A and B are shown apart, each in its own frame.
Chain A
């Protein structure tokens, strides 16, 4: 999964709104999702396709209907890769500072 695709997909208010709608209730059809947006069906499809390419939305067929599901794993991976990394560094920097100050004292 490409981090760039995920960041790009998240960098748009309509796509974030679509993710929030799926978070509230998962497994929705295009028609349901589209009815909550002030845009054409084509516009909604385009946004959903970008979310799918980033892996944030997964579609599954149930009978004849195509349902859209929120896949939060790419966001978790970014969390593990980026957020954890910098918060951890922050903490270890303070630990290093403490050690250094205590050694020189």
Chain B
């Protein structure tokens, strides 16, 4: 049995998706998509540098995550800060999330998610480690089949 011996302050996730970069951009930034694969949350983005990012639970106004947009280059790159609000995670420092979208040959697109600057957010680092896998698997299924992951 292997155990995690230290906090992973940079986490990298990658997935190939049979979809266009524009479709992936929309799926990341629009609430009608995120609700189907992102733990049932609605994304609320003001896609300008300095604009806000919020992730709202279900149909409520309960904020699960908030942050600030640092870079927005549709449909290629989106960078924003991340502060978790569930449980006692709000006391931690903000971390950073980078979405990189690269079209590949043959109609697929490579999506890379880098969650870093987690030095001041050990509970967030531990909490999101399994979550990103589930979110990206769900995003792939949604875009490729039109149906959310069961």
- Chain A residues in the interface with B (C-beta under 8 A): 1, 20, 23-27, 55, 58, 60, 69-77, 80, 84
- The contact sample of 23 A-B pairs, CB cut-off 8 A, is A1-B15, A1-B16, A24-B3, A24-B5, A25-B5, A25-B6, A25-B8, A26-B8, A26-B11, A26-B12, A27-B12, A58-B112, A69-B10, A70-B12, A72-B133, A73-B13, A73-B14, A73-B136, A73-B137, A74-B15, A77-B15, A80-B141, A84-B150
Query: How many residue-residue contacts, CB under 8 A, span A and B?
Result: 57
Closest A-chain residue to B12, C-beta based? A69
CA distance A24 to B133 in the complex (A): 17
A72-B133, A76-B137 known; A55 vs B16 contact (CB < 8 Å): yes
A74: chain B residues at CB < 8 Å are: 15
Is the Cβ of B11 less than 8 Å from the Cβ of A73? Answer: no
Query: By DSSP majority rule, is chain B's interface helix, strand, loop, or mixed?
Result: mixed
Of the four ranges (under 10, 10 to 19, 20 to 34, 35 or more), the interface on chain B belongs to: 20 to 34
Q: Does B91 contact A (CB under 8 A)?
A: no
Closest B-chain residue to A88, C-beta based? B150
A77-B137, A80-B137, A80-B149 known; A72 vs B13 contact (CB < 8 Å): yes
A73: chain B residues at CB < 8 Å are: 13-15, 132-133, 136-137
CA distance A11 to B149 in the complex (A): 27
Is the Cβ of A76 less than 8 Å from the Cβ of B8? Answer: no
Q: Does B87 contact A (CB under 8 A)?
A: no
Is the Cβ of A20 less than 8 Å from the Cβ of B133? Answer: no
Among candidates B2, B14, B136, B141, residue contacting A20 with C-beta atoms closer than 8 Å: B2
A76: chain B residues at CB < 8 Å are: 133-134, 136-137
Q: Shortest distance in angstroms between A37's beta carbon and chain B's nearest beta carbon?
A: 16
CA distance A20 to B13 in the complex (A): 16
Which A-B residue pairs are the 10 nearest by beta carbons?
A69-B12, A76-B133, A26-B8, A20-B2, A73-B15, A71-B14, A76-B137, A1-B16, A58-B12, A58-B14
Closest B-chain residue to A84, C-beta based? B150
CA distance A38 to B80 in the complex (A): 42
CA distance A90 to B90 in the complex (A): 41
Is the Cβ of B14 less than 8 Å from the Cβ of A55? Answer: yes
